[in-house]
Chain A
Amino acid sequence: MAAGVAAWLPFARAAAIGWMPVANCPMPLAPADKNKRQDELIVLNVSGRRFQTWRTTLERYPDTLLGSTEKEFFFNEDTKEYFFDRDPEVFRCVLNFYRTGKLHYPRYECISAYDDELAFYGILPEIIGDCCYEEYKDRKRENAERLMDDNDSENNQESMPSLSFRQTMWRAFENPHTSTLALVFYYVTGFFIAVSVITNVVETVPCGTVPGSKELPCGERYSVAFFCLDTACVMIFTVEYLLRLFAAPSRYRFIRSVMSIIDVVAIMPYYIGLVMTNNEDVSGAFVTLRVFRVFRIFKFSRHSQGLRILGYTLKSCASELGFLLFSLTMAIIIFATVMFYAEKGSSASKFTSIPASFWYTIVTMTTLGYGDMVPKTIAGKIFGSICSLSGVLVIALPVPVIVSNFSRIYHQNQRADKRRAQKKARLARIRVAKTGSSNAYLHSKRNGLLNEALELTGTPEEEHMGKTTSLIESQHHHLLHCLEKTTNHEFIDEQMFEQNCMESSMQNYPSTRSPSLSSHSGLTTTCCSRRSKKTTHLPNSNLPATRLRSMQELSTIHIQGSEQPSLTTSRSSLNLKADDGLRPNCKTSQITTAIISIPTPPALTPEGESRPPPASPGPNTNIPSIASNVVKVSAL
């Protein structure tokens, strides 16, 4: 519940008068305001700057430093004020949190200083308001990266003997700067890539003439030399690939990665060529394979950061480029069609078909203008000029727009992704806050009932357990309790609700209901009839029905599930404070309350039967699906 709204709690409680004439049951007592004193101003002196606020403002959050009695440690008797030797700037934000219920993060503040202050005042950073939460998370992430970088560079300095040989090799491959051997290897492979690429290029240069035959490219003239060079390069590449494959932490993932595919494509033509030697039929295909040797140049991307960034940029900008291509294609088709039909009439026209006109359109639109195809008719020339003008528009205009769009959309996408990721987290936070406040009520109910049960059995040391809720919370819970009484229904949490639904759909209700509950007029008479019974048996009958149910609930607790944590859930749920919104094992543990052969006084046994059916067959009939792994834990 937001703190700002806490000021309206008295109004909500007063408005609850509207339920009173409608309710049929008596209402629970309001929590007594034991130490009701007049609201007073307290002075907080933070490093000399004095802040003043009402005491009740601070008490809105009782689990922080300022809201609890912890601040008494800072009370200065001489000046009758609370002195904190901390940063007054950040304290401003902290105090505003108490006043408005929203915690803001000032942008000029250092993230670690802010975190320290929040930790000092006992405030969780998760409750930073939505307006500042993104900024806070960004700064926090940057800081964490900085710390990680520092740690990494530290780790790189020290030797880590615990790494296996394989791991050291992988590290050497990925960061060549770790050791001199890795650096040597890095440069050697780089050199051989360069050699291989240059060989491929020079191979095709015409290299002087052998007398008596036509000009030969160098590759055929010095074929042995080139073959040796090629073999050497391919051997180096193969060895490198095999070493990487061996050292990779996940070989399957390595094989699938882009770099390894490039490696494979770079060396395969050689081996295929070895296999199919001197066979004239397939040598044509063999020659084609040589084209793939050019992929060796992509191996440079391991050596060049810039190349990798370019590749990543193209990949991320693919949709914009695709759109450009698509619009170009549309324009090309349109103009090619128009040119074809315009030039159809002229003789000896090169525009033989529409696909043939594609070439003309592309050359004209990109303003290349080779001149191998020119329109001859007047209409063709007109349309040709329109084509070239629109080519300028279609190509030249969108490109800068796309470039700037790309950078804007890229950042926007990043922010949208971040926001989407945070939206889930934000919704989860809202849900947690909601369930937290409703769970707080349920837990305090159990705590309250537990307290009364304990008071009955007379164990004084557990009494103080229930007093941990603040006055505001107890008032809020009283309000919810009144609503329960008005409608004669109780709040339960989701899992119990689903459980009840499951159980009620699985079995039939036994028809043996005690006659006192044959309610023709529905549930409204239920608790009243109980009430009329109770007044005879118990002294304080202000909470008759629930108290009795509590006795029966708590005397034995059924715990299902074979997981270990279920046991701790039973204990910890009794001690859960209001701010433990999320039960730790929500999904796994299921707690059903059941009555199991309670040695209750005979007057109460009719009530035992009146317990709704899902629970009562528990002891007697073995509900097949639930009875497995049932552990009985007696209360406390």
Chain B
Amino acid sequence: MNRCPRRCRSPLGQAARSLYQLVTGSLSPDSVEDEFELSTVCHRPEGLEQLQEQTKFTRKELQVLYRGFKNECPSGIVNEENFKQIYSQFFPQGDSSTYATFLFNAFDTNHDGSVSFEDFVFGLSVILRGTIDDRLNWAFNLYDLNKDGCITKEEMLDIMKSIYDMMGKHTYPALREEAPREHVESFFQKMDRNKDGVVTIEEFIESCQKDENIMRSMQLFDNVI
């Protein structure tokens, strides 16, 4: 059959072959290889000491974090679907999948499509134990979707829409179509110093440091762990 030229794969050849099989009663061989799929990938994090050195968490905190992580993801890594599903449990009213994707990309620093425990813990270390500048950097990195060093209005609009999506339909006052856009406008008004339509990291950090609300809220979650 290997010598069969291309035209043998025409429907006529297939019909002849199936008729032959029908007449001789030969069954098609079971495709065994389909059943053996690669089972789950298992990933183990680096040792506890290394993580302790690289992050600012204490040993006990790392233990608690890992236990929670492993409970929900026994294979040791989170892929995007899992992540979205976990995150959606916290926002039952709206659709948090877009924002979860952005978060996922922010945590997945090496862009390999999965968040391992190290990525997870490094991200959390910056957010919870880093300096204010580190945190602002992290937030900037979250907003900068294509990681090119500046936030355009389109990127910000995407982020804003995803945040508003999490609110769902039943809000008071009722969500209008232009609400995210207006919010983006006010954001750019505040952040974009030189009015060139993009927000760079320096503008961002500078503007945030001037706003005491933002500075205060950045430290809101310090004792989460």
Chain A residues packing against B (C-beta within 8 Å):
1-2, 4-5, 7-27, 29-30, 33, 38-39, 99-100, 434-435, 437-438, 476, 479-480, 482-484, 486-494, 496-497, 500-501, 504, 521-524, 612
In the bound complex, do residue A489 and residue B216 qualify as a contact, i.e. CB atoms below 8 Å apart?
Answer: no
Given contacts A22-B183, A489-B172, A521-B186, contact A438 B167 (CB under 8 A): no
Whether A501 lies near B163 (C-beta < 8 A) is no
Residue from the list B124, B175, B186 in contact with A489, Cβ < 8 A: B175
The verdict on B224 contacting chain A, using a C-beta distance below 8 Å, is yes
- Cβ B120 vs Cβ A11 within 8 A: yes
Is B89 within 8 A of A2, CB to CB? yes
B164 at the interface (CB under 8 A from A): yes
Cβ-defined contact, A437 with B92, below 8 A: yes
From DSSP, what is the main secondary structure of chain A's interface residues?
helix
Minimum Cβ distance to chain A for residue B184 (Å): 9
Extra contacts besides A10-B68, A14-B221 (7): CB < 8 Å = A12-B90, A18-B106, A20-B220, A23-B213, A23-B214, A497-B172, A522-B178
Contact of A14 among B87, B163, B208, B224 (CB under 8 A): B224
Binds A, one of B19-27, B31-39, B47-55, B134-142: B134-142
In the assembled complex, the CB of A281 is this many whole angstroms from the nearest CB of chain B, namely 64
Query: With A479-B90, A523-B179 in contact, is A10–B224 under 8 Å at CB?
Result: yes
Separation of A45 and B183 alpha carbons in the complex (Å): 57
Residue B202 interfacial (CB < 8 Å): no
Known contacts A12-B87, A483-B166, A494-B170; is A22 also within 8 Å of B159 by CB?
yes
Question: Interface size (B, Cβ < 8 Å)?
Answer: 62
CB distance from B136 to the nearest CB of A (A): 7
Given contacts A4-B72, A21-B204, contact A9 B90 (CB under 8 A): yes
Q: Say yes or no for B218: interface residue by CB 8 A criterion.
A: yes
Q: Considering the chains assembled together, what is the distance between the CA atoms of A39 and B173 in angstroms?
A: 42
User: Does A17 contact B138, Cβ atoms closer than 8 Å?
Assistant: yes
A438 to chain B: which residues have CB within 8 Å? 92-93
Contact flags B79-110 to A (C-beta < 8 A → 1, else 0): 00000001101111100000000110010000
Does residue B41 face the partner (Cβ distance < 8 Å to A)?
Answer: no
Residues of A near B194 (CB, < 8 A) are none
Residue of B nearest to A7 (CB): B68
Query: CA–CA, A417 to B182, complex, Å?
Result: 50
A22:B171 contact, CB within 8 angstroms: no
- A534 CB to closest chain B CB (Å) equals 14
Cβ of B217 and Cβ of A23 under 8 Å apart? yes
Closest beta carbon of chain A to B123's beta carbon, Å? 8
Q: Is B42 an interface residue (CB 8 A)?
A: no
Chain A nearest CB from B137 CB (Å) reads 11
When distances are taken between beta carbons in the complex, the residues of chain A under 8 Å from B172 are 489-492, 496-497, 500
Give 14 A-B contacts (CB < 8 Å), ordered by A residue.
A7-B69, A7-B71, A20-B218, A22-B160, A22-B183, A27-B213, A30-B220, A33-B223, A491-B171, A491-B172, A492-B171, A500-B172, A522-B182, A612-B173
Which B-chain residue is minimally distant from A12 (CB atoms)? B90
Q: Is the CB of A18 within 8 A of B103?
A: yes
Majority secondary structure, B binding face:
helix
Which A residues are in CB contact (< 8 Å) with B221?
A: 13-14, 16-17, 30
Are A20 and B171 also in contact (CB < 8 A) when A13-B221, A438-B93 are?
Answer: no
Within 8 Å by CB of B124, from A11, A23, A33, lies A11
Determine if A487 and B163 form an interchain contact, defined as CB atoms under 8 angstroms apart.
Answer: yes
Is B170 a contact partner of A492 (Cβ separation < 8 A)? yes
A318 to B166, CA, bound (A): 51
Which residues in A have their C-beta under 8 angstroms from that of B135?
Answer: 17
Q: Which residue of A lies closest to B212 (CB)?
A: A26
Q: How far is the CA of A490 from the CA of B124 in the complex (A)?
A: 28
B128-147 near A? 1/0 per residue, CB < 8 Å: 10000001101100110000
Q: A486 to nearest B CB, angstroms?
A: 6
- The residues of A that contact B173 with a CB separation of less than 8 Å are 489-490, 500, 523, 612
Query: Does B213 lie within 8 Å of A26, measured CB to CB?
Result: yes
The one of A9, A10, A18, A497 in contact with B169, judged by C-beta atoms closer than 8 angstroms, is: A497
Q: Which residues of A contact B150 (CB under 8 A)?
A: none
Q: Find the residue from A11, A99, A488 having the highest chain B CB count within 10 A.
A: A11
**Distance of A411 Cα from B143 Cα, bound (Å):** 55
Contact A5 B90 (CB under 8 A): yes
A522→B186 CA distance, assembly (Å)? 10
Does B217 contact A38, Cβ atoms closer than 8 Å?
no
Chain A residues lying within 8 Å of B124, measured Cβ to Cβ, are 11, 14
**Interface centre among A29, A486, A612, by most B CB within 10 Å?**
A486
Flag whether B45 is at the interface (Cβ < 8 A). Answer: no
In the bound complex, how far is the Cα of B124 from the Cα of A13, in angstroms?
10
Which chain A residues border B68 with CB–CB below 8 Å?
7-8, 10-11
Cross-chain contact of B163 among A5, A19, A496 (Cβ < 8 A):
A19
Is B12 an interface position by the 8 A CB rule? no
B168 touches A5 (CB 8 A): no
Q: Which residues of A contact B120 (CB under 8 A)?
A: 11
Instruction: For the complex, give the distance between the alpha carbons of A22 and B218 in Å.
Output: 11
> How far apart are the CA atoms of A612 and B172 in the complex, in Å?
10
Q: How far is A504 from B176 in the complex, measured between Cα atoms in Å? A: 14
Q: Which residue of chain A lies nearest to B222 when distances are taken between CB atoms in the complex? A: A30
Of B72, B128, B223, B224, which one neighbours A7 at CB under 8 angstroms?
B72
Question: CA separation between A486 and B171, bound complex, in Å?
Answer: 13
Other-chain contact of A497, B69, B90, B136, B174 (Cβ < 8 Å): B174
Indicate if B64 sits at the interface (CB-CB under 8 A): yes
Q: Is the CB of B183 within 8 A of A487?
A: yes
A4 to B68 Cα, complex, angstroms: 8
